[in-house]
Chains A and B, each alone.
Chain A
Amino acid sequence: MAPSEHPHDQTTAAGERPWFRAAPPVLGPGHTFESVTEKISAIVMTRRTPVGWFLGFAIAFAFLMLLNVTIGHLLLTGIGIWGNNIPVGWAFDIINFVWWIGIGHAGTLISAILLLFRQQWRTSINRFAEAMTLFAVACAAMFPLLHTGRPWLAAYWLFPYPNTMNLWPQFRSPLIWDVFAVSTYFTVSLLFWYTGLVPDMATLRDRAKSRSAAVIFGVLSLGWRGSARHWQRYEMAYLLLAAISTPLVLSVHSVVSFDFAVSVLPGWHATIFPPYFVAGAIYSGFAMVMTLAVPLRKFYGLEDFITMRHIHNMTKVMLVTGMIVAYGYANEAFFAWYSANPYEQYMMANRMGGPYAVMYWSLIAINAVMIQLFWFRRVRDNVMLLFVLSLFVNVGMWLERFIIIVTSLHRDFLPSSWDMYAPTRWDFAMFTGTIGLFLSLFFLFIRFLPAIAMFEMRTLVEEETHELERPGMV
């Protein structure tokens, strides 16, 4: 769709605002209430499920089965099947935990903060970004639970509950804060996502052709009738949920960063960790939204809904947060020197020139150098390139966690305790398995639920129409 079809650019043609490089529209031209609803609900209700969907789901499902096998083997054998061992007592399990939790953050930012900031472009991507959050948190939660070796006892280890032995978790440990942070995060995200789905469930109920679909969506829509009173309360509830979710964007990954920063390990104990982790989380999360949005809009022909405006804005968010991450790298390097502490200096020298230096420089190449491409509009216009770059960002942020976690541990304070860490095939099986879980859930989600919020898109139709009639103010 050419940008010149947008009303802003029509005024451009008339010469009124010739200098105004208008942002592409948030909704393609020519849509009505009916066409928006039809196009989005058709994916769930009427369109034949494309072959590509089955193919993609089959691959994702295969990896999900790999996850099951891994978990089975893990529970029967024990966590010795993983490569972590003293001094690296914590490796893939925590790397992947942080990586997945971070990815979830884009969903919360989009649904909560962008809603409060009245950023309309959030509308078409918020639903699946929130779904992404839930699936990512589910993947993340597996790692610490399975790292306990006996997850059926995890509640006993993780949650403070009154017991006859009078044993409590260590409240001063950030690991227990994590339990609360992540479970709150999952709960609020689920509520937010489901609340957003209710009016659309009702739409699907009303459009359902089969009795069973009508009943299922009818139950899920919780008796939604769309009366003015429903809407009024709904809007209030949604706004309140957004306000509750907003601190979570900062708090969850801050608490995750405390897992490291509260310790006194060089490379972990840095006061910048909370905001630096949060920025990294949003950065990687937007990369994942990009990774998912580009194929989604392509295969389902949703270019009118997920427009170039969304692509541009997501890229800009990645640029901003990526620059904060890059600032963090520079900051860490400077302060390692400035601290005048030999352990800090060695930590940085080991990252830059030690056995894992290739990974360190790869993450710098991606997260500090490659993202400079996002400054250029020509790059922001190139969807395929952005898709590839977003994959790189996912890798870069994974490498960042690997470097932070492994390099600080494998060189212990005493050189006699030094060792190398190498993941085993079961580490990789578990990691790729969670990717399989994530993608399987995502495939099911886009097939059975409206991936874009229909009712919110309808409000955009209204606004796009009004924009045409709006008189100039200046």
Chain B
Amino acid sequence: MAETTYAPPADIDALRSRALIAGAAGLVACGIGFIVDRDHFFRSWLIAYLLFLGIALGSMGLLMIQHLSGGAWGVFRRIFEASSRTLPLLAILFLPIVLGMGTLYSWTHPEHVQADEVLQHKAVYLNTGFFLLRAFIYFAGWILIAWTMTRWSRRQDEGDMSVNLRLQYLSGGGIVFYAFAATFAGIDWVMSINPHWFSTLFGFIFIGGHGLAALSFTIVISAFLVRRAPMEQILKPGHFHDLGKLSLAFVMLWAYFNFSQYMLVYAANLVEEVPYFVARISHGWQFLAIFLVLFQFAVPFLLLLSRDLKRMPHRLVWVSLALLLVRYIDLFMLVSPEFASTGANLHMLEGEHASGFFVHWLDLAAPLAVGGLWLWMFLTQLAQRPLVAFADPYLREALQSSGGH
């Protein structure tokens, strides 16, 4: 053990520079988009941003669960940690959303609030100052948790085992903070795009999406690492099996939450709630809805039932990559039908409007920009620490994991 440093493989650097180039290219494209089509830029940026924020936050959530439960997936701790350390970058990448508040959120315009009784009622909560303060609190909390976890994890590596319990305590409180902050972030950043709509289940849907994105991303990175030293010695089919099973659980959870929400809103048919779904099952969006049912539930569900698939990283990785793509499309579905194909927020237009299905070229550029930069940051962080949390108290159990029955 003493000779092994668990240093990351050398070709991680090549990947890093490629990510940075992709990010820079995407950023240039987004810059052009910002100039020529500002409305679409903000919408696309928000969607892409939510995907990578979800990976980072979901990873932090899984990390905290791992500290609390001592799960046998401690071998993935460094990936979770590196992912959660991208949060400072994500705080910076949030700035375009702040800049675009006027485009994204109709409640930022006093004249809309004046004309709308519901918005007047909500103005105590939905106003620019409080929105920014809340965003600051979410990020401050999340970054503080990620930073403290990293600091204590480093001390654990140096042999200071007194941090083990403190990591558990922090995770306990951290998970409660994360759940509440993520719920309200979901309300602020996504739900309030349609300021009349509300669904009490939305927080769970938002958090469940984080979990699925984080697991899929972890599988993708692990499938890359398992073909290289040092992780080829460490990661066993059983570990992928565990992640695969968790992915399956989150796929089912996604279907369960979304079915519950859809069925209850559809059946009740209330004027405050149902327009949200009416917009998503008409004007071309219904095909995307069916696509999501098939590819965020039916197909991955059937595939992930296979034991062999879950144990073979080179195959599982394709399912996970597809799931990441579908996560992006799901977030697109969450946001885009609230906008006209011109990019304008429907809730700011005069009179009744419906959105027809559209995709904009910025919907490809924005994930390239955010994703490239984010991946670069992630890989930079991953390269900084040994790939195995060798001082983890549960590592012995984790390494012995021979996988399910």
Contacts and interface: CB of A to CB of B under 8 A. Distances in A.
Interface of A: 17-21, 23, 116, 118, 172, 239, 250, 254, 258, 261-264, 269-275, 323, 327, 330-332, 335, 338-341, 375, 472-474
Contact of B256 (A19, A250, A341): A250
Contacts of B260: 254, 271, 273-275
A221 B245 CA distance: 34
Given A21-B165, A340-B122, 12 more contacts: A17-B393, A20-B164, A258-B263, A264-B270, A271-B260, A272-B204, A274-B260, A335-B198, A335-B200, A340-B118, A473-B396, A474-B390
A122 to B, nearest CB: 14
16 contacts: A17-B393, A19-B162, A118-B405, A258-B263, A271-B201, A272-B203, A273-B260, A275-B204, A330-B180, A331-B200, A338-B187, A340-B121, A340-B122, A375-B172, A473-B399, A474-B1
A413 B172 CA distance: 42
B270 A18 contact: no
A339 B399 contact: no
Given A323-B176, A331-B183, A275 B257 contact: yes
Nearest to A335: B200
> Which 8 pairs, one residue from A and one from B, show the smallest C-beta to C-beta distance?
A19-B161, A272-B200, A271-B201, A340-B121, A274-B260, A340-B118, A271-B261, A270-B200
A20 B198 contact: no
Contacts of A271: 199-202, 260-261, 264-265
Nearest to B269: A264
Nearest to A254: B260
Contacts of B1: 474
Contacts of B198: 335, 338-339
Of listed B161, B183, B257, B264, residue having the most chain A CB within 10 A: B264
Interface of B: 1, 70, 117-118, 121-122, 125, 161-162, 164-165, 172, 176, 179-180, 183, 187, 198-204, 245, 256-257, 260-261, 263-265, 267-268, 270, 272, 390, 393, 395-396, 399-400, 404-405
Contacts of B176: 323
A274 B200 CA distance: 11
A272 B399 contact: no
Nearest to A326: B176
B200 A332 contact: yes
Nearest to B187: A338
A108 B283 CA distance: 43
A341 B122 CA distance: 11
A18 B268 CA distance: 58
B233 to A, nearest CB: 12
Of listed B164, B165, B176, B204, residue having the most chain A CB within 10 A: B204
B396 A331 contact: no
B11 to A, nearest CB: 27
B180 A327 contact: yes
Contact of B264 (A17, A239, A262, A339): A262
Contact of A269 (B256, B264, B390, B399): B264
